[in-house]
Amino acid sequence: MRVLITGGAGFLGSHITEKFLKEGNEVIVLDNLITSTVDNIAHLFGNEKFTFIKYNVVNYIYVKEEVDLILHFACPASPIDYQKHPIHTMKVDSLGTLNTLGLAKAKNSRFVFASTSEIYGSPQEHPQKEDYWGYVNPIGVRSVYDEAKRFSEAMSMAYFREYGIDIRILRIFNTYGPRMRANDGRVVSSFITKALKNEDITIYGDGTQTRSFCYVDDLTEGIYQISLKEGLSGEVFNIGNPEEIRIIDLAKLIIELTGSSSKIEYLPLPEDDPFRRKPDIEKIKRTIDWEPTVSLRAGLMKTIEYFKSILKK
Ligand code: UDP
């Protein structure tokens, strides 16, 4: 099978690229490297089934070869990144989605869209099920990401309804693991980096807000299986780990696991920061018999080892 992955040099994209190559597929990655790095895929360059093209998918995409499967994963995804690149974020999940869906139509490819738990905004229902419509501020600082992802979901469904394209939407909840950037501003990377340097850990708000964190290998496996299974056209799935934790408890756990002497510093809560977030994953469990297997402790230990190795460099 030939697979095209946009954003394939990013944190998630590079793990997915690796997985498809490992399973014997050809992979073409398109990535403009705005928030990613070739370091994530450098070890794949010797593989003759792998092609990397530095490209911004906001522009028309031309691919000579046939493509069986497209995964549209390009997009700045951490709150700091998408607020630093608000217009690009909106373009990549509007024009970029349009172009990748157009390519899927031209090549008759299956299309998997990387959506997000952010489409639920600051959810008023808990845990979040796929049939919940969300509670999003359309003009807040997070709206560039939330609304572009919502637009992309609508656009994917339009291509499914009008042209019968085999599209699948994955609403990805908080994910962590090796290849996150130390300075991406996300909570796991930020807490681990600070703990390893014995610097103050910054908690936004009082730390009682929750998230549910999935280790990247679990997520990659779920994405791979959803991409391969027949008969899921037009379906949307939550994907993530339902193990919910308060941010204050995450900070304490990371201090414990790193043996750090970091103290906790409290800073104001950013605008529109969701108070609770936890996926209901019954649908994906039922469909592909998948659920996360890596505990938060075990996943954090692997991630801490990764950050130790990059901070040494
Ligand atoms: N957060 C924090 N300190 C940090 C970074 C993040 O307290 O240094 C909080 C943030 O306000 C949010 C949660 O951790 O409530 C998760 O933030 P992240 O940016 O990782 O992702 P989000 O789920 O908000 O998109």
Note the pLDDT tens digit of each residue in 118-168: 999 999 999 999 999 999 999 999 999 999 999 999 999 999 999 999 999
Does 270 contact ligand 1 (Cβ within 6 A)? yes
Going from the Cα of 184 to the center of ligand 1, the distance in angstroms, rounded, reads: 11
Look at the block and give the residue holding tokens 């990387």: 114
Going from the Cα of 104 to the center of ligand 1, the distance in angstroms, rounded, reads: 34
Query: What rounded mean pLDDT belongs to the chain?
Result: 97
Q: Which two tokens stand for residue 248?
A: 């204050």
CB 82 within 8 A of CB 144: yes
Does 247 contact ligand 1 (Cβ within 6 A)? yes
pLDDT at 271 over 90: yes
pLDDT at 207 over 90: yes
pLDDT at 313 over 90: no
Look at the block and give the residue holding tokens 């991406």: 184
The Cα 109–Cα 104 span in angstroms is: 5
Residue 25's alpha-carbon distances to 9, 48, 219, 227, 277, in angstroms, are: 17, 11, 19, 13, 35
- In sign, the C-alpha dihedral spanning 187, 7, 56, 109 is negative
**Is 261 a domain residue?**
no
pLDDT tens digits, residue range 88-115? Answer: 999 999 999 999 999 999 999 999 999 9
The Cα 149–Cα 141 span in angstroms is: 14
Q: Which atom of ligand 1 is nearest to the CA of 250?
A: 14
Structural domains in the chain (count):
1
pLDDT at 200 over 80: yes
Does 211 contact ligand 1 (Cβ within 6 A)? yes
- Model-level pTM greater than 0.85? yes
Does 190 contact ligand 1 (Cβ within 6 A)? yes
pLDDT tens digits, residue range 32-43? Answer: 999 999 999 999
**Is 205 a domain residue?**
no
What is the share, in percent, of the chain residues with pLDDT greater than 90? 99
Does 100 contact ligand 1 (Cβ within 6 A)? no
**Is 288 a domain residue?**
yes
**Is 158 a domain residue?**
yes
Known catalytic residues are 145
**Is 290 a domain residue?**
yes
pLDDT bucket at 239, cuts 50 / 70 / 90: very high
**Is 304 a domain residue?**
no
pLDDT at 6 over 80: yes
Going from the Cα of 260 to the center of ligand 1, the distance in angstroms, rounded, reads: 20
Check residue 60 and give its pLDDT.
98
Of all protein residues, the one whose alpha carbon is nearest to atom 25 of ligand 1 is: 79
Q: What pairs with residue 263 in β-bridges?
A: none
pLDDT tens digits, residue range 156-192? Answer: 999 999 999 999 999 999 999 999 999 999 999 999 9
**Is 197 a domain residue?**
no
Residue 89's contacts (CB-CB under 8 Å, 6 or more residues apart) are 75, 76, 81, 82, 144, 145, 148
Pocket test for ligand 1, best of 81, 204, 206, 214 (most atoms within 8 A of CB): 204
Of all protein residues, the one whose alpha carbon is nearest to atom 21 of ligand 1 is: 186
Question: In terms of residue numbers, what domain contains 71?
Answer: 2-177+214-242+276-294
pLDDT bucket at 70, cuts 50 / 70 / 90: very high
Check residue 312 and give its pLDDT.
83
pLDDT bucket at 66, cuts 50 / 70 / 90: very high
**Is 124 a domain residue?**
yes
Of all protein residues, the one whose alpha carbon is nearest to atom 13 of ligand 1 is: 187
CB 177 within 8 A of CB 299: yes
Going from the Cα of 70 to the center of ligand 1, the distance in angstroms, rounded, reads: 30
CATH classification of the domain holding 87: 3.40.50.720
